[in-house]
């Protein structure tokens, strides 16, 4: 019987597998052909420690040393830009993310396509980094395999039931027996819970669309910071010599292999264009991902209060990549009965028990 069967091969599941492989035998089941196919493979992938709820910020801060040691970070920076009609939203974002005010001239010095006829304020933080998502996923996968873990792809779970001493998990080709289930199924996590007879948490998969456009005006965008508008109603980020632009929408959808909504994407591109001097003339590609949140938008980590052999690793939202080192460490600590290094109030804000009153 396997000690830990992890359902889901995104960053949540692979990082959990790496940590749990130090405690016992581990098998990861990924429904798709490869790891990190859905949200994890479609992330904007920025490390900004002040992004998210307080509990997420604590996870981010506790993850930075791992990211640095794994050599998955490269300098990017983060810039907020806006006009007078967005003053309240701008101030709220600047305060929440602890950004430093800069002049419009300074902003234009970094991003020359900004339209000073529209933008009259800017704020910046140099302490934001791109995350090499593939390297991060493979770092965790290599650790897990090095400790004897097995990773199975094309292994969609079709049935899950209790047996003596644990669980029986059926895929299209195999039946597994496991003492503990780790539910890292992303947008499908509530469905896995229901399949197991566990109360769902009310997780909401929210679509976010993205477009890759050519470097505006032929500029070298490699040194530009990530840009976003007040209230995060659009953002833009350099990527492999081009620019990713997103409407930053959060449209509730059913779990599926997400694709961009053309109308939403057009609206987001228009919001981006309203702040720059270079129009969008063509798209190189477009895609979408699902960012799945718990009702309070904090991650859900740890054993279910009604059944401790069913462990949640869900609700990563848009924070999975940057928070994964500390989130997976907390998960392993909780499973092993160790005292976590994170503050007590942070741990309580992440436990699934917060939804049951337990």
Q: Do 236 and 217 touch, CB atoms closer than 8 A?
A: no
CA distance 314 to 26: 18
Which stretch of 1-15, 36-50, 85-99 has the lowest confidence by average pLDDT? 36-50
Express each pLDDT in 108-151 by its tens digit: 999 999 999 999 999 999 999 999 999 999 999 999 999 999 99
Q: Smallest Cα–Cα separation from 212: which of 313, 158, 324, 288?
A: 288
Q: What is the pLDDT of residue 291?
A: 93
SS3 assignment, position 247: coil
Diameter over CA atoms, the chain: 69
Structural domains in the chain plus CATH codes: 2-55+132-203+295-355 (3.50.50.60), 78-125+206-293 (3.30.9.10)
Residue the block writes with tokens 């129009």 = 279
SS3 assignment, position 118: coil
Mean pLDDT of the chain: 95
Burial class from Cβ neighbours inside 10 Å (0-12, 13-18, 19+) for residue 138 reads middle
Express each pLDDT in 144-187 by its tens digit: 999 999 999 999 999 999 999 999 999 999 999 999 999 999 99
pLDDT band of residue 256 (cuts 50, 70, 90) is: confident
Beta bridge partners of 180: 4
* Reported pTM: 0.95
Express each pLDDT in 27-79 by its tens digit: 999 999 888 766 555 667 899 999 899 999 999 999 999 999 999 999 999 99
């Amino acid at each position: 019987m396997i000690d830990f069967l992890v359902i889901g091969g995104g960053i949540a599941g692979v990082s959990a597998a790496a940590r749990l492989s130090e405690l016992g035998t581990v098998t990861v089941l990924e429904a798709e052909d490869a790891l990190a196919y859905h949200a994890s493979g479609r992330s904007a992938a920025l490390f900004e420690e002040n992004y998210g709820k307080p509990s997420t910020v604590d996870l981010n801060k506790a993850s930075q040393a791992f990211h640095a040691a794994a050599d998955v970070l490269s300098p990017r920076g983060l810039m907020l830009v806006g006009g007078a009609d967005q003053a309240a939203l701008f101030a709220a974002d600047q305060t929440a993310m602890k950004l430093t005010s800069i002049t419009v001239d300074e902003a234009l010095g970094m991003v020359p396509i900004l339209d000073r006829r529209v933008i009259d304020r800017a704020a910046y933080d140099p302490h934001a980094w791109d995350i090499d998502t593939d390297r991060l996923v493979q770092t965790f996968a290599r650790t897990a395999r090095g400790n004897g873990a097995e990773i199975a792809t094309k292994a969609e779970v079709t049935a899950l039931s209790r047996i003596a001493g644990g669980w029986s998990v059926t895929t299209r080709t195999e039946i597994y027996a496991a003492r503990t289930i780790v539910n890292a199924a992303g947008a499908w996590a509530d469905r896995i819970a229901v399949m197991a007879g566990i109360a769902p948490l009310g997780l909401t998969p929210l679509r976010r669309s993205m477009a890759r456009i050519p470097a505006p005006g032929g500029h070298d965008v490699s040194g530009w910071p990530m840009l976003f508008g007040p209230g995060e109603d659009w953002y833009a980020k350099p990527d492999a010599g081009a620019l990713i632009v997103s409407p930053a929408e959060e449209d509730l959808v059913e779990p599926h292999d997400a694709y961009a909504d053309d109308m939403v994407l057009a609206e987001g591109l228009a919001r981006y264009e309203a702040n720059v001097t270079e129009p969008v003339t063509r798209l190189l590609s477009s895609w979408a991902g699902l960012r799945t949140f718990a009702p309070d938008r904090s991650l859900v980590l740890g054993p279910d209060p009604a059944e401790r052999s069913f462990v949640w690793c869900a609700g990563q939202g848009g924070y999975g990549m940057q928070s994964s080192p500390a989130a997976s460490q907390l998960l392993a600590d909780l499973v092993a009965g160790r005292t976590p290094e994170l503050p007590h109030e942070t741990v309580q804000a992440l436990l699934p028990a917060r939804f049951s009153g337990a």
